[in-house]
Amino acid sequence: MLSTKVIYLLSGLGADKRVFEFLDLSAFTVSHIDWINPGENESLEAYARRLCAQITSNKPTLIGVSFGGMVAIEIAKHIPCEKVILISSAATKSEIPFYFRIAGKMRFHKLVPIQILKQVNSFTQWMFGTEGAEERALLKEIIQQTDIRFLRWAIDKIVSWRNLNTPPHVVKIHGTMDRILPATKADYQIEGGGHFMIVSKAAGLSVILHKQLAGPTNQT
């Protein structure tokens, strides 16, 4: 029987819903939160506040992947949530690698040509931890189809994120081989999971998600 609980999904930088198709969420009603155009100097906090208009449930459950997890954390500051599930993401700025934070302070990311950001090669695939030709092709499509303006803005928000506090009822799922956001303390660790594990380790993730979505709020 389909659950009446609505699960809100937030994708990563590529703003691509296809990555969720590999998960088994068939028992739940899901709603994708669509990225909207950010203001030129809009903060992540203000952006998340505007996204709240897409959430119509009381005490929603959010699932955020990578950058989407960071946005979910900011949304949870404005809307009481039953649960916030982070996949390959960060809950506070201390979980962003120090070299990204240094790059943000020095504004190095502003100097990187957009052609490099949109380039997909063997190093990119290694960083994301893709497994097999299908995953490599999907990642390439996602990166190449990502809106340039949104990509620039989102990267700036990641490297300059200032959040210090984790909202209540946050569950973290991380891969042990994540090379983009290396694993910190997590409620669940997926052995061998890379940053693209929402695709490559979808079966194991689905088991964990079913446990979390069907269980009580404090279940880990």
**Bridge-partner residues for 190, per DSSP?**
175
Q: What is the mean pLDDT of the segment spanning 81-89?
A: 96
Cα separation, 87 vs 174, in Å, equals: 6
Please, what CATH class does the domain formed by 6-214 belong to?
A: alpha beta
Contacts of 197 (CB under 8 A, 6+ apart): 87, 88, 129, 175, 178, 190, 205
Q: What is the mean pLDDT of the segment spanning 89-108?
A: 83
Digit-coded pLDDT (tens) for 112-155 = 766 777 788 899 899 999 999 999 999 988 888 888 888 889 88
pLDDT at 99: 81
Task: Report percent pLDDT > 70 for the chain.
Answer: 90
Across 166-176, b (16+ Cβ under 10 Å) vs e yields bbebbbbbbbe
Contacts of 64 (CB under 8 A, 6+ apart): 9, 10, 70, 71, 72, 73, 84, 85, 86, 87, 89
Is the per-residue pLDDT at 94 higher than 60? yes
Cα separation, 76 vs 79, in Å, equals: 5
Among the ranges given (42-46, 49-53, 80-84, 183-187), the one the predictor scored with the smallest mean pLDDT: 183-187
**Bridge-partner residues for 172, per DSSP?**
86
Per-residue confidence band for 218, with pLDDT thresholds at 50, 70 and 90: very low
Is the per-residue pLDDT at 6 higher than 90? no
Digit-coded pLDDT (tens) for 17-26 = 888 999 999 9
Contacts of 198 (CB under 8 A, 6+ apart): 19, 20, 22, 23, 65, 87, 88, 205
